[in-house]
Amino acid sequence: MPLIRDRLPEPQAYYESQDLALLGKGTWRTTRCAFHGGSDSMRVNLRNGAFVCMAGCGARGGDVLAYHMAAQGLGFVEAAKDLGAWEDDPQHEATRRPRRPSGLPARDALALLREDAMVVAIAAGNLAHGYPLSEADFERLREGAARIQRIADEVGVDARW
Ligand SMILES: [Zn+2]
C-alpha cells in the first residue's frame, strides 16, 4: 500500500502546524473549527488524530489525513503526499515485479488437453479399424495440435522438434 501510515505526522504536531491552539487536557482537545468558523467547537484526538465538530457543521474524520484532505481540499493521494506519507515509486514497483502475461489456468489447460487427447484417440482408433480420416477430423486434429503447442508455449515447455 503506497500510503505509509507510520509517516503521518503526530496529531498534536500536525494540528498545531495547522494554526490550531489545543485547549484542555487528555486525549480529546478543544480547538476552533476551521470549517465553519466556530471558535471552540472542534474536538481533536491526540492519540489517533480523529476530529469532530460539535457544532454539527459536518466536519469529522478518523485521522490527520482525513483532516488534511478536508481542510486543504485535497484528494487522498495528494493529501498523503503533502504530509510526506506517500510512497510513489512506480518505476521501482515495475522492476521489482516483472510483468508476465496472465497464463491460462492449469485446470483449463488440462481440460483442453484432455479433449484434444480424446480426439486423437478416436481418430487413431478409426484409422486402426480401417476407417479413413475425414477432412473434418483431420482439421480437428490440426487445431488440437496447434492448441497443445500454444499451451506448451504458455507454460514455457519447449515442445518444438
Ligand atoms: Zn464546524
**pLDDT score of 51:** 96
For residue 40, how far is its CA from the centre of ligand 1 (angstroms)? 9
CA 80 to chain centre: 17
For residue 7, how far is its CA from the centre of ligand 1 (angstroms)? 27
Which residues contact residue 86 at a Cβ distance below 8 angstroms, ignoring those fewer than 6 apart? 2, 3, 4, 77, 80
CA 56 to chain centre: 35
Own/partner pairs for 92-100, CB < 8 Å, 24+ apart?
A: none
**pLDDT score of 114:** 78
Judge contact between 115 and 121, C-beta under 8 A.
Answer: no
**pLDDT score of 138:** 78
* b/e code 79-102 from CB counts within 10 Å (16+ = b): bbbebebbeeeeeeeeeeeeeeee
For residue 39, how far is its CA from the centre of ligand 1 (angstroms)? 9
pTM (two decimals)? 0.56
**pLDDT score of 66:** 97
**pLDDT score of 137:** 78
How many helices (H) and strands (E) would you count in the chain?
A: 6, 4
For residue 9, how far is its CA from the centre of ligand 1 (angstroms)? 22
Sign of CA dihedral 97, 98, 102, 104: negative
Residue 19, classified by CB atoms within 10 Å of its CB into exposed (0-12), middle (13-18) or buried (19+), is exposed
Q: Which residues of the chain, if any, have pLDDT below 50? A: none
For residue 121, how far is its CA from the centre of ligand 1 (angstroms)? 78
For residue 52, how far is its CA from the centre of ligand 1 (angstroms)? 8
**pLDDT score of 48:** 96
Which residues contact residue 16 at a Cβ distance below 8 angstroms, ignoring those fewer than 6 apart? 22
CA dist., res. 72 & res. 65, Å (int): 10
Residue 120 grid coordinates: 486423437
For residue 22, how far is its CA from the centre of ligand 1 (angstroms)? 15
